[in-house]
Chain A
Amino acid sequence: MRDLTQVLKSAAACQSKVLPSGLTLLVKPMPDYSGAHAIYATRFGSVDASFTLDKQDGRGPVRVDLPAGVAHFLEHKMFESEEGDAFALYAKTGANANAYTSFDRTSYIFTATGKIDESLDVLLGMVGKPYFTEATIAKEQGIIGQEIKMYDDSADWRLLTGLCQCLYAAHPVRSDIAGTVESIARITPEMLYACADAFYQPANMVLAAAGNITMEQLEAACARAGLNEPRTPFAVTRLRAEEPLAVARQRLEFSMPVAKPCLGIGFKETPLPEGVAGLRGRILCDLLTELIVGGTTPLYRRLYDEGLVNPEFDGDFLALDGCLCILFTGESDEPERVKDMLLDEIDRLRAEGVDEELFRLNKNRMYGELIQDLEQIEDTASALANSFLHGYTVYDELQTLADLTKQDVDQALQTMLSRERCATVLIHPTEVNG
């Protein structure tokens, strides 16, 4: 085996800096590229539903409890200011901008080929400075209500949310990222300002960029935005209700307009720590799903040849603060049989160990995917931001994967993917009038 240390270090290398305000800057200059992609992200997502905030104003910690969907709602509101809409400002630079909210983070992004400094000014100017009136909140409730309804029509999304509701009794992962029409109706300006104060502090955020861009450009933009000055951070404590390891509910069935029954099988696992300590567990989860039902496995082949699932049937995992679950989803005319086959295969692998050759091949595949993620400016900036927010580096990922052995997977199987901590979601097709 060649020593690729230098090649990989070079591929995964980036420049980093922490500003006096606490904001972390990460940049991977890629001068051969025309464009630059920037991500300004905060560790604040839909699962941050309760917290205390001490603004050092003598009042002490104040508890804030949020209805579902606030992080996503706030993301929408960041695009507005007294001067107008951020999209209108980006239109002057030619940048393509967007934002997204997940369970544990909110990210604001742009891609641009020219006027990159001006685009950075728009990005840093809009994020963290929410502006809203009663009227704009009401309008947003209408738009997000439509977004919620669109997701309600997605069987894949309903499987995911259904599994989370089955597996978890108290964790906020039970709630949809966008909330419900009812929950977002309860959002108040005070809640939004409290979230901005708590989670949009520079020390809780990262500005990552890749492409035709330099650290000097990021630093200069931050200086213009006042992010170079030291700031005394507000104290924030995330509050989590006790979550048992047992599943909340073993089964959920409902109907919606789909052509075939849709099946979701979820396993609740012990949550992973943040940082490098949890990275090994993340990679194990990824490998496990591939070794159980990935395209190289005998189970996938049986399911495929017998026409028991759609070709997209696969496994994935969700790792958040206080939550780790492994999920298998797809369509099947015989969901109970597929579930039995999946559970039997997990039992077999637990008893016999995973195939050495399949382990090697899938490890190779993951290595290739990590290299692939460092190719395009969007993927590279995203990899930098994601790894930072999880508390490790891109190179840590390559190194941890390289160190992983078949024995690690076999050992993990002894405690993970237990039948006792398994839940099933089944979506039945409703009658359609064709």
Chain B
Amino acid sequence: MHYQKFNLIFLVLVIIWCFGMLSPVMLQRINSYEIVKPFINQMYSTVCHQQQAKTIALFNEEILVCSRCAGIYFGVLFGIISSFFIRIKNNLLKFVWISSIVVLSDVVAVNFGFYDYSKIIAIASGLFFGLTIILFLENEFKFFNLLNKNEK
């Protein structure tokens, strides 16, 4: 029961976060949004470089984070939703390491000029990373019984 509650709260928070990320696209016709946009933009700039060339644009509006961050957040969102339906009993640490290496390799390769930045690769690697990290976290919580109030 604890896990379901925890998951539900986390799901709501991630949905709010993703909505904020997509707000320039979804709220572009609302006048008052433009006045709060600098504040929301400032919030997201704390955790993303927001480079124009690396950001996805939908309906002529750019979202508030880069492609990789968008991939990570959507990966986390899919991970939480899937955790309601799927039970994974294996230790996912290996997958977390693999997905971290994939993300890191892409960052290093792009920064050292081995190939040009690709939004598709950035989204895909971010998605994989976000998905594995949230499923790993969920699994560890269950394995160590961390939400049990009588722990320790």
Q: Do A and B come from one complex?
A: no
